[in-house]
């Protein structure tokens, strides 16, 4: 094993020892009324982008189903490169991971969250929503397949961000911040 790989593994072990206890696989919703739910996120850069967005905005982030662990060494290394303080104090913020998409959505509905899914094929613009009051969870699928029809059927609304042709979709690193900051703007939290 080369020295760079050994150093990366040691860095991960160090970070894992210092991580926030909020990364246990449970839903934490007591600190926010806006949650971003990422279903089956497998790419380390997408996971790091989602966590980074949560840290930057203070919004709750939930990973569901077969999502990559936030403790994965690639996710940790990406966050270390983007957030200088992260290496010394690796705090994931208001983050949780739940193995079941269905349990996550059902739990959030019981807690009074409006559940809004995202899909580039939706004809309803996200910007038409009035989100200044209430609790909302915005659900994002993977970049390759998006949310399945079965999962979309469990959500309250499906919306998209308008875009000009020939663009057909945005990557998660583009679309998630647009949704997050528009909700914060409407709630006058920025």
Average pLDDT, the chain: 79
Say if residue 52's pLDDT is above 50: yes
- pLDDT, residue 190, reads 65
Say if residue 113's pLDDT is above 90: yes
- pLDDT, residue 140, reads 92
What DSSP letter does each residue of 136-190 carry, written as one string? EEEEE-BTTTBS-HHHHTTSSEEEB----TT-----HHHHHHHHHHHHHHHTT--
- pLDDT, residue 62, reads 92
Closest CA to 53 of 39, 71, 35: 35
pLDDT band at 169 (very low <50, low <70, confident <90, very high): confident
Classify residue 179 as exposed, middle or buried by CB count within 10 Å of its CB (0-12, 13-18, 19+).
Answer: buried
- pLDDT, residue 2, reads 45
pLDDT band at 50 (very low <50, low <70, confident <90, very high): very high
- Domain ranges across the chain: 3-186
Average pLDDT over residues 147-166: 89
| pLDDT above 90 coverage of the chain, percent | 25
Say if residue 120's pLDDT is above 60: yes
Say if residue 9's pLDDT is above 50: no
Is the CB of residue 141 less than 8 Å from the CB of residue 43? no
Which CATH architecture does the domain made up of 3-186 adopt? 3-Layer(aba) Sandwich (3.40)
How is residue 85 written in tokens?
A: 């303080």
pLDDT tens-digit profile of 12-41? 343 333 333 333 333 344 457 889 999 988
Closest CA to 35 of 59, 63, 71: 59
In whole angstroms, how far apart are CA 17 and each of 11, 149, 162?
A: 10, 39, 43
Residues paired with 35 in a beta bridge: 60, 137
Strand order in the sheet with 60-64: 95-98, 60-64, 34-39, 135-140, 113-118, 157-159
pLDDT band at 129 (very low <50, low <70, confident <90, very high): confident
User: How far is the C-alpha of 179 from the C-alpha of 122, rounded, in Å?
Assistant: 15
Residues paired with 60 in a beta bridge: 35
How is residue 105 written in tokens?
A: 């959505």
CA 20 from centroid of its chain's CA atoms: 17
Average pLDDT over residues 159-188: 85
**Which of 80-89, 94-103, 158-167 has the least mean pLDDT?**
80-89
Average pLDDT over residues 146-151: 89
pLDDT tens-digit profile of 53-62? 988 888 889 9
pTM of the model: 0.80
């Amino acid at each position: 094993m080369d020295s760079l790989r050994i150093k990366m593994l040691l860095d991960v072990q160090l970070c894992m020892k210092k991580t926030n206890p909020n990364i246990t696989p449970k839903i934490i919703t007591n600190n926010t009324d806006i949650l971003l739910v990422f279903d089956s996120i497998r790419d380390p850069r997408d996971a790091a982008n989602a966590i980074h967005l949560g840290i930057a905005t203070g919004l709750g982030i939930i990973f569901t189903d077969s999502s990559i662990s936030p403790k994965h060494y690639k996710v940790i290394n990406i966050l270390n490169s983007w957030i200088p303080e992260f290496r010394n104090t690796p705090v994931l913020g208001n983050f949780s991971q739940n193995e079941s998409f269905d349990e996550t959505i059902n739990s959030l509905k019981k807690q009074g969250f409006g559940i809004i899914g995202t899909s580039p094929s939706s004809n309803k613009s996200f910007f038409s929503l009035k989100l200044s009051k209430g609790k909302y969870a915005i659900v994002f699928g993977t970049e390759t397949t998006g949310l399945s029809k079965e999962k979309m059927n469990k959500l309250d609304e499906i919306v998209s961000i308008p875009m000009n042709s020939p663009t057909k979709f945005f990557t998660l690193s583009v679309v998630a911040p647009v949704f997050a900051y528009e909700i914060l703007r409407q709630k006058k939290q920025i």
